[in-house]
Amino acid sequence: MTRGLFISFEGGDGAGKSTQSRALAQWLTDLGRTVVRTFEPGDTALGAVLRQAVQHGEEVSARTEALLYAADRAHHVDTVVRPALERGQDVVTDRYLDSSVAYQGAGRGLGVEEVERLSLWATEGLLPDLTVLLDLDPAVGLGRLTGTPDRMERAGDELHRRVRETFLARAEADSGRFLVLDATRPADEVAEAIRTRVRPLLPAV
């Protein structure tokens, strides 16, 4: 059986990841594919506990934060992502390891290479076939949010600027894996650009 496609969505808060990942998952489903739509952190029972702890729990150090995200990711890959891919299903996730590299590696200053190594260890090296980066000025993205801000959303503008720069630098260094789109463009144009990039990845029928 052919392995499913693994696609992650990345970008700052409020960039429209969930809207676009939902639209892509629907399109793939309409093509007759089976799609698992998921997210990090928190899309498992253990993950929900880790999500609550890391986003709204007591103050923790940057290293603790990185390990909590890595634990969530390891469990998510073991129990959701890899089994689905092996069944031949596509997996579309809101956020994956590039978020840790950008937020913990650059944002919190732990070092992008070290955090990348930690994430690759947690996932046994599983990388997406495609990562869609929805790029947005953090001042715009954070302004779009509603609800109680989590720990990261409360962090300073400088952190969010470093996160954005790191996402962009990673995308530039690995253009084979990344598609970068301007998240201020109309949502239907963004969705069409994503489909254009995904179409050639699908096996011919």
Rg of the chain over all Cα atoms, to the nearest angstrom: 16
Closest separation between CB of residue 150 and ligand TYD, Å? Answer: 6
Closest separation between CB of residue 175 and ligand TYD, Å? Answer: 22
Which residue number, 187 or 202, has a Cβ lying nearer to ligand TYD?
A: 187
Query: What six digits make up the tokens of 77?
Result: 């890959």
13 touches ligand TYD by CB under 6 A: yes
Closest separation between CB of residue 112 and ligand TYD, Å? Answer: 13
Q: Which of 153, 179, 184, 185 binds ligand TYD (CB under 6 A)?
A: 153
Identify residue 188 by its one-letter amino acid code: D
Residue count at the site for ligand TYD (CB under 6 A)? 13
Q: Which of 16, 41, 105, 138 binds ligand TYD (CB under 6 A)?
A: 41
Q: What does DSSP assign to residue 145?
A: -
User: Which residue(s) pair with 133 in the sheet?
Assistant: 10, 180
Which residue number, 87 or 124, has a Cβ lying nearer to ligand TYD?
A: 124
**Helix 112-122 vs helix 62-76: angle between axes, to the nearest 10 degrees?**
30
CA distance 155 to 199: 38
Which residue number, 87 or 117, has a Cβ lying nearer to ligand TYD?
A: 117
Query: What six digits make up the tokens of 50?
Result: 């880790």
CA distance 152 to 189: 29
Instruction: Please report, as ranges, the residues that interact with ligand TYD according to CB under 6 A.
Output: 13, 40-41, 69, 94-95, 99-100, 103-104, 150, 152-153
